[in-house]
Amino acid sequence: MKPKPQDSANQDQPDRPIYLQPPRVIFALLIGVLALVAYVVLVKTDSPTPDPIMVENPEAVMIMDETSQNLADLPPEITTKLRQDVIDRTGSSPDEIEILAAERQTWPNTCLGLAQPDELCGQMLVDGWRVRVSDGQRHWLYRTNHNGQTFRLETE
């Protein structure tokens, strides 16, 4: 009986660790993994992408959508406090004050991202609102926490 020739790729030892496998086996495995990753990344979905709707003034549409959706969600106590602040600042009548827009925001600190010089602010995320208020002639942007307990004027 002839002895079997010994080669570097002895198939009689299938339980060898991967790093001891012949280079062609490792190469084949790497090509397979690469092909799988490429397939997953490059495959296109079957869901159609809707055609964009063309509008003349997209900003106006966006503001109208945000306003109609978010004004209904704005807590009434925030509306009351901000309207009163504008009345106190301007002397306007309550009938002239209008909330134009409101959107939910997360502020970077307890100063609502509007810290004054030498003011210490708690370094935590604060859920709240960014609200645009008008007296018919001028506009103000306010930042509030979630319930209006804290609010700051962004611009004047």
- DSSP sequence for 12-52: T-TTS-GGGS-HHHHHHHHHHHHHHHHHHHHPPPSSPPPPP
Is 36 within the bounds of a domain? no
Range of the domain at 62: 58-155
The model's confidence at residue 17, banded by pLDDT at 50, 70 and 90, is confident
Q: Alpha-carbon distance 2 to 21, whole Å?
A: 26
Q: Alpha-carbon distance 149 to 156, whole Å?
A: 20
Is 96 within the bounds of a domain? yes
Is 137 within the bounds of a domain? yes
Is 16 within the bounds of a domain? no
Is 23 within the bounds of a domain? no
**Tens-digit pLDDT profile for residues 77-124:** 999 999 999 999 999 999 999 999 999 999 999 999 999 898 999 999
**Tens-digit pLDDT profile for residues 112-128:** 999 989 899 999 999 99
What Å distances lie between residue 40 and 20, 31, 83, CA to CA? 29, 14, 53
Is 146 within the bounds of a domain? yes
The count of domains in the chain is 1
| Averaged confidence pLDDT in the chain | 78
Is 77 within the bounds of a domain? yes
Q: What is the pTM of this model?
A: 0.56
Is 129 within the bounds of a domain? yes
Give residues with Cβ within 8 angstroms of 54, minimum separation 6.
Answer: none
Kindly state the average pLDDT of the residues 27-37.
83
Task: Identify the three-state secondary structure at position 73.
Answer: helix
Q: 33: how many CB neighbours lie within 10 A of its CB?
A: 10
